Chain A
Amino acid sequence: MKVSLPKSRVPYLLLFPGFAFLFTFFILPIINLAQTSTQTPVSGGDTGEYEQTFAFSNYVHAFLDNREQFARSFIFAALATIFALTIAYPLAYAIAFKSGKYKNVLLVLVVAPFFTSFLLRTVAWKQILGEEGFLVPTLRNLHLLGQQTTVTSTAFAVVAGMTYNFLPFMTLPLYASLERIDPRTIEAAGDLYANGITTFRKVTVPLSLPGVVAGTLLTFIPAAGDYVNAAILGSPNTKMIGNVIESRYFKIVDYPTAAALSFTLMAAILILVTLYIRKAGTEELV
């Protein structure tokens, strides 16, 4: 029996269940979040009771009250992205070009640490770098670290934690694009008397750009919204916007402000990402 469906309907049938799900549990919630963001408390109502008053001033207040955390989120995320790129590029390059038959093994090793729970690893860093770990007291005894200096509860620890946690999201796309490079293009550069550095700069790097773009996005986006690293490795002075949204939701039950903050964060990220993609000039990301 041949399928009797007209060909053009097949893709829509395939799409339907998944897209119905995404519409209900992704698009609808976002629309609902937009509604929540302009609500104000019911006068005389319980905590957590809100009504729609189209109070766009929520956005202004939410942003002005948390300017510092917004700025910190984007700076920390940008720093973590730059560090991750610096660490991951040579690593991905070495795996793609210099590892011979161990390529698959090394690739597995890059991903392997991430099978241990992300939170366990973050807590492990906290304990390794903490007061009771052996590293900090040792460095203090060697006078490499001031007696009062701590590593955890600092901005450094938060950025380092994010760099570590998002590293595979950087390494894998980089590897994928480096691995695809036709070795003949590199040979050709050599034949045309380019030395190693010039070849790298003029051939390898441009050809790996899609990986750089994908990797930086996959690192930057989750890093900007992250609050786990700041909560575990940071202090009240290193709060990011994610921490604010979380506490607005759970501790203060201030849904409208949390929603307005979430929307501002998403909008800011989307604008940055669009500008970045346009600048990088790659469209085959999706």
Chain B
Amino acid sequence: MSVKIKDASVPVIPFKARLSRWFGRNLLRIYMVFGFTYLFIPVAYTFAFSFNDSGKSNLVWKGFTFRNWQNPCGAPEVCTALGNSIKIGFLATLFSTILGTLIAFAIGRYKFKGRSTSNLLIFLPMATPEIVLGASLLSLFLVFKINPGFWPTVIAHVMFCISFVVVTVKARIASLDPRLEQAAMDLYANEIETFRRVTLPLVAPGIAGAALLAFSLSFDDFIITNFNSGTLITFPKFVYVSAARGIPAQANVIGSAMFFLALAIVVAGQLVNRKKSR
């Protein structure tokens, strides 16, 4: 056995102590690795099983194939459901972003009577469990003999997205430097010009973020949708209904594609921001 001679300048620390010191120093890092692994396990699983040559039920690994990715509409209900979810998501995002942004400007920019009541009205839908929102809205539709379906679902989504839009845009408005607007006014811009050329461009990233949030909330919503959509199938509803029989691998393709698409949008947004701030 050869004996390793240690550098004299480095004090010899017993292995155990060194190990524990290394752990102490890197504990948070190790923790982060575990945390992120935990977060990504189901995503990785969904992605992996999108390549499964599975046939009807995608429960057991049967072999690798690109077929599901080449033909995501191979299970036709998947694409119908996806189409519905995108349409609903788009409309819900449009309306909730407009209504929510207006409210955010009112609350964020003005002092008026009833401001705290307004804040409460925005907070309440977020503090109400989804099942209560969904059930109560369905009861209302039933009273007015409106059949659940496409538009009731859009209305339901706008309703629960508004609060999130308000909170997001309001935070952005609150973080604005008031001196920028004062400077515009000092340079003889009137109120409308100041708003259009200074305030709005500064708030725009907040509005974009709110729209993205609204879309992802709407696209992913199941509970409220389940109450108000009747026979209409959305993507989450499709997954829920077919969970018992086995979900076709095409659903995994769409889930994974959404993941990469959203990631790309976020990364692009970050890059644009960085370019601007340079």
Contact = CB atoms under 8 A, between A and B. Distances in A.
Interface stretch (A54-62, A115-123, A205-213): A115-123
B258 A29 contact: no
Nearest to A240: B131
A87 B35 contact: yes
Contact of B46 (A1, A36, A110, A120): A120
Interface stretch (A140-148, A186-194, A263-271): A263-271
Interface string B22-41: 00000011011001101111
A29 to B, nearest CB: 4
Contacts of A45: none
Nearest to B115: A11
Given A87-B38, A269-B129, A119 B236 contact: yes
Contacts of B120: 286
A284 to B, nearest CB: 10
B135 A132 contact: no
A64 interface: no
A228 interface: yes
Interface string A1-45: 111000110111011011101100110111011001000000000
A11 B120 CA distance: 16
A90 B28 contact: yes
B158 interface: yes
Range, interface on chain B:
35 or more
A255 B106 CA distance: 38
B110 A10 contact: yes
B247 interface: yes
B66 interface: no
A124 B46 contact: yes
Nearest to A91: B35
Given A18-B99, A115-B262, A120-B239, A11 B140 contact: no
A11, A95, A116, A269 interface centre (most CB from chain B within 10 Å): A116
B140, B166, B236 interface centre (most CB from chain A within 10 Å): B140
A110 B32 CA distance: 11
Nearest to A122: B42
A266 B90 CA distance: 30
Contacts of B105: 14
Contacts of A255: 139, 142
A112 B262 contact: yes
17 contacts: A12-B112, A15-B103, A29-B133, A33-B139, A95-B32, A109-B36, A116-B259, A120-B251, A127-B59, A222-B129, A226-B130, A255-B139, A258-B135, A262-B136, A263-B132, A273-B127, A286-B123
Given A22-B162, A26-B124, A30-B132, 14 more contacts: A14-B110, A21-B162, A25-B140, A33-B139, A87-B38, A94-B31, A106-B32, A115-B258, A116-B42, A221-B129, A222-B130, A246-B131, A266-B132, A286-B123
Interface of A: 1-3, 7-8, 10-12, 14-15, 17-19, 21-22, 25-26, 28-30, 32-33, 36, 87, 90-91, 93-95, 98, 104, 106, 108-128, 132, 164, 167, 217-218, 221-222, 224-228, 231-232, 242, 245-246, 249, 255, 258-259, 262-263, 265-266, 269-270, 273, 285-286
